[in-house]
Each structure stands twice: as structure tokens, then as C-alpha cells.
Amino acid sequence: MSAIGLGRWLQHLLEHLPIARQGQDPEGVHQVRVAVRRLRVWLQLAGMRVLEDDLAWLVRAAGQVRDLEVLLQHPNLPVAFQKWARVRWEEARAGFIPVLDSPRLAGLLQALASLPPLEGKGAEARLERFTLQVERRAEEWRSEDSIESLHALRRALRRLRYAREWLEQDSAAVKALQEIFGQVGDLSFILNYLGAFEAEGGKVSVRYRRKLEADLAEALAVAKKAWKDHQDDLRS
């Protein structure tokens, strides 16, 4: 296999940073996070630890902005909850803008542009680590049966998907499972934000909360069935 450069996803990052800064299109922050996560997987396939901390820093900095954007796009948000979330989003953006203007980010982008392509054969040899990590996370989920362990498995699936895509291998089964697990993730963090809203004195109807909890239970059941039916596909 030929060498694999990171140029396509570095360019994707560069194109979406100004959109994220402007703040009018939620895809800006989302695509920044997608690009950074793919670049982190590229580094792992290359066997490099250089710049890992800086990429993790950028993902974390964008995290709350993205979470609140997803929350604000959720249908039928109660008006008071929506207003509360928008204020939190504005606060999160105020903290994110200095990151986008920082020398640290400028240095990170320059450093990424200087990295040589990774060697394809070595990258293929490291792919097994991503599969093993999925299997370890799946075992933790089976033993703990918690939302947190499911989230960890979802993240491992995402890394495996991106690793396969860097190597131009089929990732359809991994992507499908990742997206199913993502439904659980979205609903669980909406409930977490709802809890924060209520802790500050906000109120929503009992019916609204129960609907979210029922949707989460249904999404969790779908995720468990999908994993049972398709986990073996990850090694096929």
C-alpha cells in the first residue's frame, strides 16, 4: 500500500475553522471536530504521539459548543429549556473563540502541515489495535451495562471506522453501529443538560421528561440488539 498523507483532512479542518468561528452554521464546529478526530487516528496509525495533546485540546475546546448546538437542534424543546440552552451556547462560544485565535492553534496547523505521509504497511499492522480496543470496550459494556461504558464503545467504534477509512477499507458495518450508538449518546446528554436546567430551577413537564427517558430506553434496546446481531461483522 502506498504512503498516506493527511492533507485532505487537514484541508477540511482549515476550511471549517472560519465557519466555526462565525458561528452561524452548526456544521462548522461539527466538521472541525470530525477533522481533528480523523487526524488523531492518522497519528495513531503512524505510531506518532506528537501533537496528540494539541489535537485533544482542540476537540475538548469545541465540545460544549457542539453539544449545545445538537441540543438546540433537537425537536420540540420546551421554550424555557431552549432559552437556557441558548445562553449556555453563547457562553461556550465566548470561551471557544479565543482558542480559534490562539498561537497554539496556529502552531498546531503549521506542525500538521509539516508531517510526512505515513507508511501504508506499518499503518495496516497497527489497525488490529483499533479492533482490539473495540472488543475491550464491548466487554466492559457487557460487564457494567452502563451508559458511560456504551459511550466508550461508541468512541472506539468511531476510531476503528476512521482507521479503516484512512486505509481505504470497508467501514460500513462499523459506521452503522456507531450511528446507532450515537442515538443513545444524543438522548443521554440531552437528559444530562435537562438535569442541569432543572437543578438551576428550570421546569419542564413531566410528560416531556418521560418521553425523553422512553426514547432513551428504546434507543438503548436497539443498540443492544444491533451489537448482538452485528458484532461479528467487525472482523469479517
- Give the residue range(s) of CATH 1.20.120 domains in the chain: 119-236
pTM, two decimal places: 0.94
- The pLDDT of 98-110, averaged and rounded, is 97
pLDDT digits (tens, 9 = 90+) for 17-73: 999 999 999 999 999 999 999 999 999 999 999 999 999 999 999 999 999 999 999
Superfamily name with CATH number, domain 1-118: CHAD domain (1.40.20.10)
Answer whether 133's CB lies under 8 Å from 159's CB.
yes
* pLDDT mean over 98-103: 97
Please tell us whether the domain made up of 119-236 is placed in CATH 1.20.120. Answer: yes
124: its cell numbers: 495496516
Q: Which pLDDT tens digit goes with each residue over 78-95? A: 999 999 999 999 999 999
The rounded distance, in Å, linking the Cα atoms of 8 and 136 is: 31
Helix (H) or strand (E) holding 53: helix 52-73
Grid coordinates representing 221 are: 434496546
User: What does the pLDDT read at residue 236?
Assistant: 66
Residue 4 phi/psi, 5-degree rounding, is: -120, 115
Q: Where in the chain is the domain with CATH 1.40.20.10?
A: 1-118
How far apart (Å, rounded) are the C-alpha atoms in residues 168 and 145?
A: 33
Query: Residue 225 above 80 pLDDT?
Result: yes
Question: Do 90 and 72 touch, CB atoms closer than 8 A?
Answer: no
Residue 208's SS3 state is: helix
